[in-house]
A = this chain, B = another copy of it.
Amino acid sequence: MKKFVREITSMEEDFAKWYTDIVVKAELIDYSEVRGCTILRPYGFAIWENITKILDEKFKKVGVENVSMPLLIPESLLQKEKEHIEGFAPEVAWVTMGGNEELSEKLCVRPTSEVLFCSHFARIVHSWRDLPKLYNQWCSVVRWEKTSRPFLRSVEFHWQEGHTVHESSEEARDFTLKMLNIYSDFFEKILCIPVILGRKTESEKFAGAEETYTVECMMKDGKALQSATSHYFGNGFSKAFDIKFTNRKNLEENTYQTSWGLSTRVIAAIIMSHGDNDGLVLPPDIAPIQVVIIPINFANNNQVLEKSKEIFNSIGKILRAKMDCSDQTPGWKFSNYDMKGVPIRVEIGPRDLEQNSCVIVRRDNRSKQKCGLNDLVPTIQQMLTEIKRNMYDVCMKNRDKKTIISGRESDFQNFEGFIKIPFCETEECEKYLKEKYKFSARCIPFGEHVENLKCPICGKKSSNYVFFAKAY
């Protein structure tokens, strides 16, 4: 019965191929004519829609407002903040012609929108009474990447970028961490993926940021995926863009800023955290279909179909449900919804009907149980909670198994997972680990202190523990 619908490579055989097989065969994407630009198909886009809905609500609860900035940025505007342009110039797409005419100044398709937000802030912020401005936009951005993989790295991708201005550095710093915690909560409670939070090292910081904070997740293959970031900008951008306001003491001052973002990469995180050799396993809260109802042998049994519809209607009132009464075989349907990662399958056939019951199958652990039709809705609701807990636990176990705390360089050899080392935080040692072992510094975790420990690379005094891993 397994792999009945469509073969996918097993993850043990080739993890990368397993990943792209799922992305295509679960009908999340289709490749387009433009290198690195994919089409998000209904099922893939519905996952993103569910993600955006939940996050958008969380953002709005802390006072964030949505706006829309233009797609195009004049070259001169992009050049205003030095580190920022150096970080992005090599990877932008340039519009040089409008209609049949050459433009006097070329325009880049936004790779990110800091400069647009900053020039807007400079126009609308005058007094402390105008602050803070807590803005966000949902959009797509373009980065001219040489290599691409769906959701992980692509020329165009969807994301949200939040940009805020504040009257004090303390307020901005607090907000940076507030948003990091919203992401963290979202990953742990909604996506059932445990996270490691921390600060990026100097060399891994965002171009133009004073501090970058990150949400790091471990994938099933032991690699890290940077899943969301939140940046404290200080007043660097504010100075470059002349965003000044009259403060409460009636003095002119530059604002303090933050930015924070999460992209469709999060779908890659879901696939590689929870997926298995039969396809996707979706966290219930973002699954486009939470429960699929499959009537069995209903062609000559109208009662089965009627009862299925009844079940569908009652479940459909509170959950995203689908009933599949197409003419495919039950086996084909089972595999199909397994591939699509639907959390719960309800099967109902003539024999179940006789006992006024049905069969419920969980996607996450494949457990199967009989359930009386009268108890179905509460049983399913409770089961969804259990599924979430179990998905989180399975991920956590995988991460624990593949995480070591180490003080020896030799541990990097042939290791797949997270290594936490007491680190000197010098660029040289970071570069060495990256070049020799392909391990990059993921983050400096919060609240851990190092005393009397030495960096395993250079032997100098270490300042902090730092997580290293191979990363996507």
Residues of A within 8 A of B (CB): 30, 32-34, 37-42, 45-46, 48-49, 65-74, 77, 89-100, 106-107, 109, 116, 119-120, 123-124, 135, 139-140, 142, 144, 155-156, 158
Bound Cα distance A70, B32 (Å):
7
Bound Cα distance A37, B438 (Å):
43
Residue in B95, B120, B139 whose CB lies within 8 Å of A93? B95
List, in ascending order, chain B residues with CB within 8 A of A67's CB. Answer: 39-42, 45
Bound Cα distance A39, B98 (Å):
20
List, in ascending order, chain B residues with CB within 8 A of A100's CB. Answer: 90
List, in ascending order, chain B residues with CB within 8 A of A71's CB. Answer: 37, 71, 109, 140, 142, 156
Query: Contacts A39-B67, A70-B34, A156-B71; is A94 near B96 (CB within 8 Å)?
Result: yes
User: How many copies of this chain are found per oligomer?
Assistant: 2
Residue in B96, B124, B156 whose CB lies within 8 Å of A70? B156
Residue in B39, B45, B65, B96 whose CB lies within 8 Å of A97? B96
List, in ascending order, chain B residues with CB within 8 A of A94's CB. Answer: 95-98
**A38: shortest Cβ distance to chain B, in Å?**
7
List, in ascending order, chain B residues with CB within 8 A of A158's CB. Answer: 68
List, in ascending order, chain B residues with CB within 8 A of A38's CB. Answer: 70
Bound Cα distance A234, B201 (Å):
58
List, in ascending order, chain B residues with CB within 8 A of A120's CB. Answer: 30, 32, 39
Bound Cα distance A198, B83 (Å):
55
| Additional 4 contacts, C-beta under 8 A, given A39-B70, A45-B66, A99-B144 | A39-B69, A42-B135, A46-B66, A92-B99
Pairwise interchain contact A70-B37, C-beta atoms closer than 8 A:
yes
Bound Cα distance A384, B341 (Å):
44
List, in ascending order, chain B residues with CB within 8 A of A32's CB. Answer: 69-70, 116, 119-120
Q: Which residue of B lies closest to A37 (CB)?
A: B70
Residue in B48, B66, B95 whose CB lies within 8 Å of A42? B66
Bound Cα distance A144, B102 (Å):
12
**A43: shortest Cβ distance to chain B, in Å?**
9
Bound Cα distance A164, B185 (Å):
38
Bound Cα distance A119, B32 (Å):
8
List, in ascending order, chain B residues with CB within 8 A of A72's CB. Answer: 34, 37, 93, 142, 155-156
Bound Cα distance A109, B142 (Å):
11
**A27: shortest Cβ distance to chain B, in Å?**
9
Query: Contacts A41-B67, A45-B67; is A34 near B98 (CB within 8 Å)?
Result: no
Pairwise interchain contact A65-B42, C-beta atoms closer than 8 A:
yes
Pairwise interchain contact B68-A33, C-beta atoms closer than 8 A:
no
Pairwise interchain contact B109-A34, C-beta atoms closer than 8 A:
no
Pairwise interchain contact B116-A39, C-beta atoms closer than 8 A:
yes
Bound Cα distance A333, B395 (Å):
53
Bound Cα distance A109, B71 (Å):
10
Bound Cα distance A93, B144 (Å):
17
Bound Cα distance A142, B139 (Å):
14
List, in ascending order, chain B residues with CB within 8 A of A124's CB. Answer: 30
List, in ascending order, chain B residues with CB within 8 A of A33's CB. Answer: 73-74, 77, 116, 119
